Structure 1
Amino acid sequence: MRTFRKPWLIVAMITVMIFTTVACSAGSDDGVTTDGKMKVVWWHSMGGELKSAVDHLVKEFNESQSEVVVEAVYQGEYDESLNKLRASLGSNSGPTMVQVYEIGSRYMIDSNLITPIQTFVDKQNYDLSQLEENIIGYYTIDDQLNAMPFNTSNPILYYNKDQFKEAGLDPENPPTTFEEVAKAAEKLSDGKNKGASFALYGWFMEQFFANQGAELVNNGNGRDELATESLLGSEAGVQTLTWWKEMVDDGVALNLGRKTDDTKKAFTSGQVAMTLDSTASLRGIVDSVGDKFEVGTAFLPKPKEADEGGVIVGGASLYILNNRPETEQEAAWKFIEFLTAPEQQAYWHVNTGYFPITKTAYDEPAVKENLEKFPQFQTAVDQLHETTLNRATQGALMGVFPEARQITERAMEEVINGQKTPEKALEDAQKEITEKIEQYNSTVNR
């Protein structure tokens, strides 16, 4: 049995008390408002302009009917929100519905806190075929849809078409392989600017694995059985970091660290000609660039001889919690049905840049107009649709995913900064992640 020093225990108790206090202030006690409506409390992590879009959708829903009222409560970033959810357990202070990032999927299932969305789908004969298969595929585990996708994105290559022309490259024929990216970066680099800069972001490594048809953990990426081992040190990882490191060493790629905000700024200022970023960043990037140059977009690159693969959806989804009354859960489902309607999906996409999860949303006038204004987004749509759904592209499942991503980023830094070889850094990280997976699995009741 592990023992802990009393100061640590006191700090932990105070932390839980603080989280519980915050959770209580946001929760719903009896699920019914004073005017007899069923109250649904939704905890989410959409701040800034995204919060404005959330508030608009909630207002539209509340005004569209008289039986349910949704209260959307911002709970901070994903990690903070999940901590508050944990702190609310055992009380009546938690939400009816919570937004959780994709890498929290394994935890949410193992927590036994949720009523799978499949329950409501089956009960209402809801037609899942109207939704994007490659999006709901991530959240379909053990043949059931556990959460409803909400904000969904994937990574694409952004490039400066003007600099491509100046370097003698075809701006309408962007690089698609590791080898082509390296050659283009060399031609695009001069004494002042660099050909590329990619943030040392664990999500990108996960995507490079999937794009090579490689799984990140064993047991079918943790989908056939509970994952027991990380596969980070496999050929897909070594090949990716070897390519990345060589570009930095050759002086054609700029290392700006872990933050995508830094690489985004370098790209929009014209300091680098290529970068990786989320599809949800497209509007912001195009707006920031303005008329300085023309922004091009391309698929995520991969080795020229890579196996069949594609991209994994990122973002977050909506879970309905099973510790709330059944009528309250059904009210939350009613709100989710509203959110997945084409009109709402069109609004969400146009105002946030996230994918519509409903196929017919692309027929909405607002979406068509948005594609005319931002034709670069067609790349994201095509990349999503051309992705082959398999265990690699469905995405990995492990209960320690947030920690694993941090460990991966540390390994990436060790390689790019010349502290370890790709093989050694990834081997060490794989071992550490595997140990954490084993520790987590020992706590799960199955």
Structure 2
Amino acid sequence: MRAKRLTGSLACLVVLTLTAAGCGLSGGGSGDGDATAGGCKVDKGNVGTGKLSGEVKGKITFQTTNLKKDFGDFFNGVIADFEKAHPGTEVKWIDDPGDNTFTTRTVADAQACTLADVINVNAPTATALTKAGYLLDVATKDPAASKPFVPSFWKTAVFKDGDGKAIHTALPWYTGGVVLTYNKDLLKKAGVDPAKPPTTLFGLFADYEKVAKAGDGKFYATMANPVWRIPSDFDQMGIKILSDDGKSAVFADDPRTAQWVAWMAKLYKAGAMPKDSLSSSNDPSTLYSQGKVAYGSTNPSFVRFVKQNSPSIYDKTAVGQQPYDALGRASAGAPQYISVAATSKNAPTALSFAEFLTNAENQTAWCKDPNVVIFPTTTDSLNDPFFQNATGSDPFSQARKLVADQLKTASTNQTNLSPAVQNAMVSQVQLAMQGKKSPEQAVKDAQEKANELLKQAG
């Protein structure tokens, strides 16, 4: 259900391909006739400054990522409700497996002008598709689109087009929140009190070090690949990653960045992380479920995976507050989004369905599913007693209550990095973790490489 981060040379290929292919948006307001979006011929109403108009009817495609197996009944119900409310409409649901080729295939669909009408995207994919001109500016095409959403979540749905203008090309959908998930037994073996989670990331790293010593190669603290931590750790620490205009990297200016890299290198050398996980795209799910990793994913939905796949480890699992660090409040991270293709041949219906799917009623209904720990992005949903009055001591209930409390004041401050920039930063940290560069040099080189990519991207 969680879109995987893209790593390695594939990320660079995707961004470069999109940048080269994208021709931006052109054309006027609503009406018939041809314009272009990302190099594809589209109706003029899909682009420009005019509000979208037209009848809600006809066929559209709706693409999700790995949801049909577990939530088929729910989404088929949503589709049936929409089709009933709008006679003459037909929604074809496509469920992508969400594997490592997802972004590559999405790019190919966009360039072939066959992107699904309504598509579930994460922040990196939305960033790339917006820059290339393939997504509808929903705030322009429906000025009332923002009304249902928590303002901080709506703010995250802003991405830059080919001219560098910030536009809303997505509707916030569901979010996971951020929690600390851990194996109580392994922490006790390491002399770490499970009832007292650390309040800073460096404090958490110190606990990782204790786990490394106690585990002695039999179990570990966490996974090594920094792709899971960049940019989230920096955001949580309040380290500024990009300049205000987003055109240059500034993270090396903060001395805590080099300290963070030094900790990562120290932990890797000490055996806090499996050596073969430094460049692996795998998250902690499998090893955690085998009792070989003390800390699980920070996504609350992770507890569902553990419950289904390893009941014995689930019984040893607890959920605590991820360190607030310098922010003084929780970071909810970026949610999953629903976007409408600017290349849609039936944009009025696509936008209507996207708004129907993400409205408060449907978000609340899905988030109440007993088999999932996700949270809505609409104000009315978060005010529902289900979220405000969460109780219970099991990991599921703990996660629900903790994140429900967080979202009242949480900052959705995740920095949107292109896959290429993220990969450039990750690669340098990996070199430092291997002892091939000092932390200071790795941070300096990471910023230089990030700036080169940002300059190329304009």
TM-score above 0.5: yes
Contact 1:280 1:353 survives alignment (8 Å): yes
Select 1:289's aligned residue among 310, 313, 329. 310
Cα deviation, residue 159, structure 1: 0.9
Cα deviation, residue 99, structure 1: 2.8
Alignment of 1:211-290 (within 5 A): 211-218=236-243, 220=244, 225=245, 227-235=246-254, 236-255=256-275, 256-259=277-280, 261=282, 263-290=284-311
Find the aligned partners of 1:324 and 1:126 in 2 and give their Cα distance. 18
Distance 1:60 1:411, change over 3 A: farther
Contact 1:44 1:81 survives alignment (8 Å): no
Amino acid at match of 2:207: A
Alignment of 1:85-100 (within 5 A): 85-89=109-113, 93-100=114-121
Corresponding position of 1:49: 69
Corresponding position of 2:378: 358
Aligned residue for 1:99, secondary structure, equals: strand
Contact 1:195 1:272 survives alignment (8 Å): yes
Contact 1:199 1:260 survives alignment (8 Å): no
Q: Pick which of 64-73 and 256-265 moved more.
A: 256-265
Corresponding position of 2:397: 375
Find the aligned partners of 1:240 and 1:257 in 2 and give their Cα distance. 16
Corresponding position of 1:405: 422
Corresponding position of 2:456: 439
Corresponding position of 2:12: none
Distance 1:176 1:308, change over 3 A: closer
Find the aligned partners of 2:77 and 2:423 in 1 and give their Cα distance. 34
Aligned residue for 2:193, secondary structure, equals: coil
Q: Which has the higher helix share?
A: 1
Distance 1:320 1:406, change over 3 A: same
Cα deviation, residue 139, structure 1: 0.8
Contact 2:157 2:170 survives alignment (8 Å): yes
Distance 1:380 1:234, change over 3 A: farther
Q: Structure 1 unaligned runs (5+)?
A: 1-11, 17-26, 31-35, 442-446
Cα deviation, residue 138, structure 1: 0.9
Listed one character per residue, the Cα deviations across residues 286-330 of structure 1 (whole Å, up to 9, x for unaligned) are 333313433122333365xx35575363453222233445xx322
Distance 1:51 1:249, change over 3 A: same
Find the aligned partners of 2:219 and 2:124 in 1 and give their Cα distance. 33
Find the aligned partners of 1:383 and 1:421 in 2 and give their Cα distance. 37
Contact 1:134 1:384 survives alignment (8 Å): no
Corresponding position of 1:335: 353
Aligned residue for 2:203, secondary structure, equals: helix
Cα deviation, residue 369, structure 1: 10
Distance 1:322 1:429, change over 3 A: same
Listed one character per residue, the Cα deviations across residues 236-279 of structure 1 (whole Å, up to 9, x for unaligned) are 43222222222233344444234464522222222222244423
Contact 1:193 1:272 survives alignment (8 Å): no
Q: Structure 2 unaligned runs (5+)?
A: 1-16, 22-39, 44-55, 160-164
Corresponding position of 2:50: none
Alignment of 1:19-418 (within 5 A): 37-46=57-66, 49=69, 52=72, 54-75=75-96, 77=98, 78-89=102-113, 93-122=114-143, 125=144, 128=147, 130-140=148-158, 145-188=168-211, 189-191=214-216, 193-194=218-219, 196-218=221-243, 220=244, 225=245, 227-235=246-254, 236-255=256-275, 256-259=277-280, 261=282, 263-292=284-313, 293-301=315-323, 306=326, 310-311=330-331, 313-314=333-334, 316-324=336-344, 328-349=346-367, 350=369, 352-362=372-382, 372=392, 374-377=396-399, 378-388=401-411, 393-396=413-416, 401-418=418-435
Amino acid at match of 1:171: P
Distance 1:187 1:44, change over 3 A: closer
Contact 1:258 1:409 survives alignment (8 Å): no
Listed one character per residue, the Cα deviations across residues 103-140 of structure 1 (whole Å, up to 9, x for unaligned) are 13333333333332213542xx4562x42333222113
Find the aligned partners of 1:87 and 1:143 in 2 and give their Cα distance. 22
Find the aligned partners of 1:61 and 1:153 in 2 and give their Cα distance. 26
Amino acid at match of 1:380: V
Contact 2:324 2:331 survives alignment (8 Å): no
Amino acid at match of 1:86: A
Distance 1:244 1:301, change over 3 A: farther
Find the aligned partners of 1:158 and 1:271 in 2 and give their Cα distance. 14
Listed one character per residue, the Cα deviations across residues 26-75 of structure 1 (whole Å, up to 9, x for unaligned) are x9x99xxxxx9421222443356367354553344334542422112245
Tell me how many residue pairs correspond in the alignment. Answer: 389
When the two structures are superposed, what TM-score results if normalisation uses the length of structure 1?
0.74
- Measured on the aligned residues, the alpha-carbon RMSD in Å equals 3.5
Aligned residue for 2:173, secondary structure, equals: strand
Find the aligned partners of 1:337 and 1:424 in 2 and give their Cα distance. 47
